[in-house]
A and B are shown apart, each in its own frame.
Chain A
Amino acid sequence: MATDDPKLEVDLDPSGGLLVHLRGVWVKDQVIPDIRDITNAFQKNHDVQRLSFDSEEIARWDSVLLTFLVKLCRVCNEKGIECDTRGLPDGVLKLIHLAFAVAEAKQIPHESRNRTALYRIGERLLANRANAQKQLYFLGETCLSLSRFFTGRARYRSSDIWLFIEECGPRALPIVTLISVLVGLILAFVGSVQLTMFGAQIYIANLVGLGMAREMGALMTAVIMAGRTGAAFAAQLGSMKVNEEIDALKTMGISPVDFLVLPRIIALVLMMPLLCLYADFMGILGGMLVGVGLLDLSLTEYYTQTEAALAMRDFNVGLFKSAVYGILVAIAGCMRGMDSGRSSAAVGEAATNAVVTGIIWIIVSDAILTVIYNAFGV
């Protein structure tokens, strides 16, 4: 007779209340009776004042029974019906008491949910202003810190600088090699299609040499470093913030900008021009592969043509740009990291933002520098 399914029966008890019989196994994966079976009974008997339970035949129960009863108690409270829980299993009773022990915290206002579109736009704009202010503030801090560095008053560990120099110099060589050889190849290929039409294959050397030295070497290393090192800086500083390591520095009177940001900026600014120069030569090598391999130029021809096409000035143009990019990438990474929230999701966001900010700054400054170079005829 006793089945496992959860069952519900509503009786009128002799004293005029309702008696609810609960039977069977009330666990997840079972089809639980609808609470309306009971509320309907309320509607039929308007004069019901009391609700009591009989749970003798409950075999097993878990949260499902609890949610059912909590819901029922709420309905009873609304209707002013007395809910006599004495007939319930001991454990259930205790848990229901626990669930109702602390009042719901609905009175605590919770901001920024269900706002109008206009409100959100305004909020976003204000946040942008605050964000710009923060960026300026950080920039100012960095400048102060740099001035402390040059006057020898900055507190940092010089071993950190060497560590970061290794991290963003030698360790970046493999990827810089790969990318710049390929960029040199691509430049040569694209150029060769046009130049062979005029029989001017030899000018591939000029195209690749000038392209790499003045523009592509610096730009490609900067983009690589933004993705590689800028993101790493942001993630490092962000997780230090989560761990309260930055707070610990502050409370010891050590400026986190001096201690954490400065070594990173200096390392990257020192390494970036070197990487750029390396990338220039790797790009020229890539162009040479195409020139000698596909266009039947001899090695000496290509070499002499490159030498004739390039002046020291062209390299300087690229090297200066790359130093600027180095500062920008390091600042973007550190700024986003120091600005990160205190959760794991926020650290990821900081790393993403660091790369995006870094690349935007690189391209914008590239445009500005190119215009300036042009105006001065460099």
Chain B
Amino acid sequence: MEGCTASDRSPARIKVADLTLAYGEQIIQRDLSFSIRQGEIFIIMGGSGCGKTTLLKHLIGLLRPNRGKIFYDDRSFWDTPDAERDEIIRRTGILYQSGALWSSLTLAENVALPLAEYTNLTRDAIDEIVSMKLALVGLAGFEDYYPSEISGGMQKRAGLARAMALDPEILFFDEPSAGLDPVSAKRLDDLIVELKESLGTTIVVVTHELASILTIGTDSVFLDNESKTMIAGGHPRKLLNESKDPRIRTFLTRGGGSLD
């Protein structure tokens, strides 16, 4: 569990093979193949509407792929029985775009729900873990607040506390910095890095926020809107420095072509 640095030798936690995403007849992305390795911060990037969130929804089992396979630790996700699939999903945590906190529950109840459902911890032990998780995201003392009583940034952090409730091995983030001011966004990025380093969690981030991509990302896949497939992958900084593809250059330099 010690913070391990990403290297090509670390095992793949998620492997995507020849995946095609589609809503009915309309193809969103095709021929996606990549691996997400243990301990990486893996960025799924691309312009608006290119299917980043759709890809994420496929990875976490909300949508069924049109073609191709998704492997979790070498187990094909859609070919395993339902019970096993639930078990795989339970080892992941997801932070939705706007937090997706249950509005009729307090923050503490939100975080406690998965713990109460899936562990046999006592009430007191759950309360302690809940307080600790909220403290980790900087929300100590907000246990009894309802989601509607706190700001958007706080809701997002509370959502992260809930995603981490079961100590997931893989954490998914859908646009973590959307709707946050630069300082809060930076703080959330720092938190993501801290979590990765201290818990060794594998992290998958869907984002188009350049600052996040370049500062926290250690691996990535770039989805293109026009050709409807992935056109690059690898360490985002390396992509910025080495890629010759004008589409990637334009994206990573905000439209300017030169290196910064």
- A residues with a Cβ closer than 8 A to B are 27-29, 32, 60-64, 66-67, 70-71, 89-95, 98-106, 108, 110, 113, 341-346
Q: A91-B198, A94-B194 are in contact. Are A108 and B141 (CB under 8 A)?
A: yes
User: Which residues of the partner chain B approach A343 to less than 8 Å between Cβ atoms?
Assistant: 103-104, 146-148
- List the B residue with the shortest CB-CB distance to A89: B2
In the bound complex, CA of A345 to CA of B104 (Å)? 6
CB–CB B128/A104 < 8 A? no
Contact of B103 among A60, A63, A101, A345 (CB under 8 A): A345
Is B125 in contact with chain A by the CB < 8 A criterion? yes
CB–CB B136/A91 < 8 A? no
CB–CB A102/B138 < 8 A? yes
CB–CB A94/B141 < 8 A? no
Contact of B136 among A29, A60, A90, A99 (CB under 8 A): A99
Known: A63-B167, A67-B125. 4 other contacts (CB 8 A): A61-B1, A70-B128, A98-B136, A98-B194
CB–CB B133/A94 < 8 A? no
User: Which residues of the partner chain A approach B47 to less than 8 Å between Cβ atoms?
Assistant: none
State how many angstroms separate the Cβ of A110 from the closest Cβ of chain B: 6
In the bound complex, CA of A106 to CA of B141 (Å)? 5
CB–CB A104/B144 < 8 A? no
Q: Would you list the 4 A-B pairs with minimal beta carbon distance, nearest first?
A: A343-B103, A91-B198, A105-B141, A104-B141
Contact of A63 among B2, B129, B145 (CB under 8 A): B129
State how many angstroms separate the Cβ of B235 from the closest Cβ of chain A: 23
CB–CB B119/A28 < 8 A? yes
State how many angstroms separate the Cβ of B33 from the closest Cβ of chain A: 32
CB–CB A99/B135 < 8 A? yes
State how many angstroms separate the Cβ of B157 from the closest Cβ of chain A: 10
Please report which residues of chain B, range 128-158, place their CB below 8 angstroms from some CB of chain A when the two chains form the complex. 128-129, 131-133, 135-136, 138-142, 144-148
Contact of B132 among A61, A67, A89 (CB under 8 A): A67
In the bound complex, CA of A343 to CA of B99 (Å)? 13
User: Which residues of the partner chain A approach B141 to less than 8 Å between Cβ atoms?
Assistant: 104-106, 108
- List the B residue with the shortest CB-CB distance to A344: B103
State how many angstroms separate the Cβ of A94 from the closest Cβ of chain B: 4
Contact of B198 among A32, A90, A344 (CB under 8 A): A90
Please report which residues of chain B, range 54-84, place their CB below 8 angstroms from some CB of chain A when the two chains form the complex. none
CB–CB A100/B135 < 8 A? yes
In the bound complex, CA of A27 to CA of B120 (Å)? 12
Is B217 in contact with chain A by the CB < 8 A criterion? no
User: Which residues of the partner chain B approach A345 to less than 8 Å between Cβ atoms?
Assistant: 103-104
Most buried by A among B125, B136, B139, B191: B136
**Can you list 29 residue pairs at the A/B interface with Cβ under 8 Å?**
A28-B167, A29-B119, A29-B120, A61-B1, A63-B132, A67-B125, A67-B128, A70-B128, A89-B1, A89-B2, A91-B3, A91-B197, A91-B198, A93-B198, A98-B191, A98-B198, A99-B140, A102-B138, A103-B140, A104-B140, A110-B144, A113-B144, A341-B148, A342-B148, A343-B104, A343-B146, A343-B148, A344-B103, A345-B103
- List the A residue with the shortest CB-CB distance to B146: A343
- List the B residue with the shortest CB-CB distance to A348: B104
Is B93 in contact with chain A by the CB < 8 A criterion? no
CB–CB A91/B2 < 8 A? yes
Is B113 in contact with chain A by the CB < 8 A criterion? no
User: Which residues of the partner chain A approach B194 to less than 8 Å between Cβ atoms?
Assistant: 94-95, 98
In the bound complex, CA of A341 to CA of B147 (Å)? 12
CB–CB A66/B1 < 8 A? no
- List the B residue with the shortest CB-CB distance to A66: B132
CB–CB B132/A99 < 8 A? yes
Is B27 in contact with chain A by the CB < 8 A criterion? no
State how many angstroms separate the Cβ of A128 from the closest Cβ of chain B: 22
CB–CB A102/B135 < 8 A? yes
CB–CB A92/B103 < 8 A? no
Contact of A28 among B2, B121, B135, B148 (CB under 8 A): B121
User: Which residues of the partner chain B approach A110 to less than 8 Å between Cβ atoms?
Assistant: 144-145
Is B200 in contact with chain A by the CB < 8 A criterion? yes
- List the B residue with the shortest CB-CB distance to A69: B132
User: Which residues of the partner chain A approach B216 to less than 8 Å between Cβ atoms?
Assistant: none
Is B199 in contact with chain A by the CB < 8 A criterion? yes
In the bound complex, CA of A178 to CA of B170 (Å)? 54
User: Which residues of the partner chain B approach A341 to less than 8 Å between Cβ atoms?
Assistant: 148
User: Which residues of the partner chain A approach B103 to less than 8 Å between Cβ atoms?
Assistant: 343-346
State how many angstroms separate the Cβ of B185 from the closest Cβ of chain A: 17
In the bound complex, CA of A32 to CA of B125 (Å)? 10
User: Which residues of the partner chain A approach B131 to less than 8 Å between Cβ atoms?
Assistant: 67
Q: Mark B111-127, 1 if CB is under 8 A from A, else 0.
A: 00000000111000100
In the bound complex, CA of A110 to CA of B149 (Å)? 10
Q: A108-B141, A113-B144, A343-B103 are in contact. Are A70 and B135 (CB under 8 A)?
A: yes
In the bound complex, CA of A95 to CA of B133 (Å)? 10
State how many angstroms separate the Cβ of A153 from the closest Cβ of chain B: 36
